[in-house]
Each structure stands twice: as structure tokens, then as C-alpha cells.
């Protein structure tokens, strides 16, 4: 039997317990989900390094999954745009049942391996791309087929599953095993398994963005400024990183068309063309651009 679908004898009478006791037991499961991720820190870090190297300047992140696992993967991918400025054109979602399955169940679609292979071909997934396939059971035909097709096409493939030694983990080049065991409510992988998946995906995608230079001194320097709250945050960010007053940071952001990295360099005294050229020399990495600026200034 798959561990995630097993019955934990401690919880067979859960429905008869006082609500507070039941909630406490379910919370215990959520905490154990985080512990399951801890043992995979090395695997997650290695996958992030490989993924960042493969993605380079034009590769795409592809998220594949079905049901709860697929929806969690899509959530993680969607958030990369506003948080890290990751382009929508460089994100692909292969969800069993299509994107409509985000809002309504399409459980039968998880068995459609041919659809997954067709999706991989339709999106022309290839050697510059990185696919992350997620399935609690590790046996979902749609996700396995997607990983197999992507790997055949030359993409770097990363599998995340909650049962060890499963076909999905074997199919991918890199495997992350989140051994969360039996659920408090048997088979409800939206609970412990889903929580562990969410944590692992957050860690993986954020580490990729770190390695791609989209974070500097703990700030989201590729953040998309889309509202007044984020504009205020960006002004404070530019002010802190360039060590200038907020009014000067705001003026620099205006000249940089709300590009935070450019805004920092402009606030340090460069015009926008020089700032853009310096950032290009630094491969888009603000840390390297700041080092070049200091070196050229003789600091």
C-alpha cells in the first residue's frame, strides 16, 4: 500500500473526538510535514543549482501535476511573476484536465498520459527548460508521462513525491522525496502531503531565483511594481540599497521606469543608459553591478 493512502490507527476515531482535540491532531500532522522536507534540503539545493544553470537567460520553468499536487504547483509558479519578475512567457503549466481544473475537480484526467505527452510536444519543451513534476502518490500517469516526455526532449526534470521508490521519482533526473507517511484522514493528500509539497516548491523556486540573481541583500529586486503598496516598498528598497533618502530613491525609480535594479544604480549617480549598460555587463545581477560600480569608483 502507498504510505500516503495508509490508515494511521491513532486517528481511526478522529470523527468522534472533541473538535479541539481533532484540530490539534491535524496540526501535529502539518508540523510533521515540515519535518519531512528537512531531510531533503540537500536535494532541493542541488536541484535549484542545476535548474538555475539550465534556465540561463531564456529557459522556461514547467510545472506538471494533477489534482491537489498540480494546483499547488501552479500556485507556486504563478507567484514567481509578481515576486521575482519572472516572465510569464518563461512559465508553462501542464495541469491534468487543463487550467479549468484549478477551480473544479478533474480527477479522471490524472490517468491521461497521452495528453501529457501531447502537451509537452505542443509547448516545444526542450533542452533549455526545467520541468518540475509533483504527485503525492508518485504514480500519477499524467505526471509520469510529462516527466518522461520532457526528459526525452532534453529538459532537466525534477520530481517531487511523497512516497519513496515510486515511478515518478525514477523517471526524473533529480528526485525530491517528501516521506510524509499516512495522513490524519486516510488518503487526504491535501493535508500533510500537500503542505510538504508547498514548502518544498517554495524552497526550490526561491532558491532558483536566488541563483539567477533576482534577490539582492534579502530584497526582491526584480519585484513587479503593480500598486501603491509595492511602489512604497520599492522606494524604501532603493533607498536602503543605495543609501539615499526616500525622496531621492523615488526620483531614481521614476527615471528607471520602476525598475528596482536600475533605480538603485541611478540613485547611486548613474544615468539610466549607463545603469542599463552596467547591469548588462553584470549579467543582470545587482550584486555584481554594485561591485563593478565600487571598483570603478576606486572604493
DSSP string, 85-132: ---GGGEEEEETT-GGGGTS--GGGGG-HHHHHHHHHHTT--TT-EEE
Helix (H) or strand (E) holding 158: strand 156-161
Q: Which of 5, 110, 173, 296 is catalytic?
A: 110
Distances in Å between the alpha carbon of 174 and those of 21, 70, 180, 274?
Answer: 39, 18, 19, 41
The conformation of residue 134, written as its DSSP 8-state character, comes to: E
Greatest CA separation found in the chain? 72
Distances in Å between the alpha carbon of 129 and those of 50, 56, 63, 126, 294?
Answer: 11, 9, 11, 6, 35
Active site residue 296: no
Beta-bridge mates of residue 176: 160
- CA distance linking residue 125 with residue 119, whole number of Å: 9
- CA distance linking residue 143 with residue 1, whole number of Å: 20
Would you give the end-to-end CA distance of the chain in angstroms?
A: 64
Active site residue 173: no
- CA distance linking residue 299 with residue 81, whole number of Å: 35
Yes or no: say if 275 and 296 are a contact pair by the CB < 8 Å rule.
no
Overall size of the chain counted in residues: 299
Q: Which of 5, 28, 79, 173 is catalytic?
A: 79
DSSP string, 205-274: HHHHHHHTT--BTTB-TT----SHHHHHHHHHHHHHHHT--HHHHHHHHHHTTT-HHHHHHHHTT--HHH
- CA distance linking residue 251 with residue 285, whole number of Å: 22
Catalytic residues: 79, 110
Amino acid at each position: 500500500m502507498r504510505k500516503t493512502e495508509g490508515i494511521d490507527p491513532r486517528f481511526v476515531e478522529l470523527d468522534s473526538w472533541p473538535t479541539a482535540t481533532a484540530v490539534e491532531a491535524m496540526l501535529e500532522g502539518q508540523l510533521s510535514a515540515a519535518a519531512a522536507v528537512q531531510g531533503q534540503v540537500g536535494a532541493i539545493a542541488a536541484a535549484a543549482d542545476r535548474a538555475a544553470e539550465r534556465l540561463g537567460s531564456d529557459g522556461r520553468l514547467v510545472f506538471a501535476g494533477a489534482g491537489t499536487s498540480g494546483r499547488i504547483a501552479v500556485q507556486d509558479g504563478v507567484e514567481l511573476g509578481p515576486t521575482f519578475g519572472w516572465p510569464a512567457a518563461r512559465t508553462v503549466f501542464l495541469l491534468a484536465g487543463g487550467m479549468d481544473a484549478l477551480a473544479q475537480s478533474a480527477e479522471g484526467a490524472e490517468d491521461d498520459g497521452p495528453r501529457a505527452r501531447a502537451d509537452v510536444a505542443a509547448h516545444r519543451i526542450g533542452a533549455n527548460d526545467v520541468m518540475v513534476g509533483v504527485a503525492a502518490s508518485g504514480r500519477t500517469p499524467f505526471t509520469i508521462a510529462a516527466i518522461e516526455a520532457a526528459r526525452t526532449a532534453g529538459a532537466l526534470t525534477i520530481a517531487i513525491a511523497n512516497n519513496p521508490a515510486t515511478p515518478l521519482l525514477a523517471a526524473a533526473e533529480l528526485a525530491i522525496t517528501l516521506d510524509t507517511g499516512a495522513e490524519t484522514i486516510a488518503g487526504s493528500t491535501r493535508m500533510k502531503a500537500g503542505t510538504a509539497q508547498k514548502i518544498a516548491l517554495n524552497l526550490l523556486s526561491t532558491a532558483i531565483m536566488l541563483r539567477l540573481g533576482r534577490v539582492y541583500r534579502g530584497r526582491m529586486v526584480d519585484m513587479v511594481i503593480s500598486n501603491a503598496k509595492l511602489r512604497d516598498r520599492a522606494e524604501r528598497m532603493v533607498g536602503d540599497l543605495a543609501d539615499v533618502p526616500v525622496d531621492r530613491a523615488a526620483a531614481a525609480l521614476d527615471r528607471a521606469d520602476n525598475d528596482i535594479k536600475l533605480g538603485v544604480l541611478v540613485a547611486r549617480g548613474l544615468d539610466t543608459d549607463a545603469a542599463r549598460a552596467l547591469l548588462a555587463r553584470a549579467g543582470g545581477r545587482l550584486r555584481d553591478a554594485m561591485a563593478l560600480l565600487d571598483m570603478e569608483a576606486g572604493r
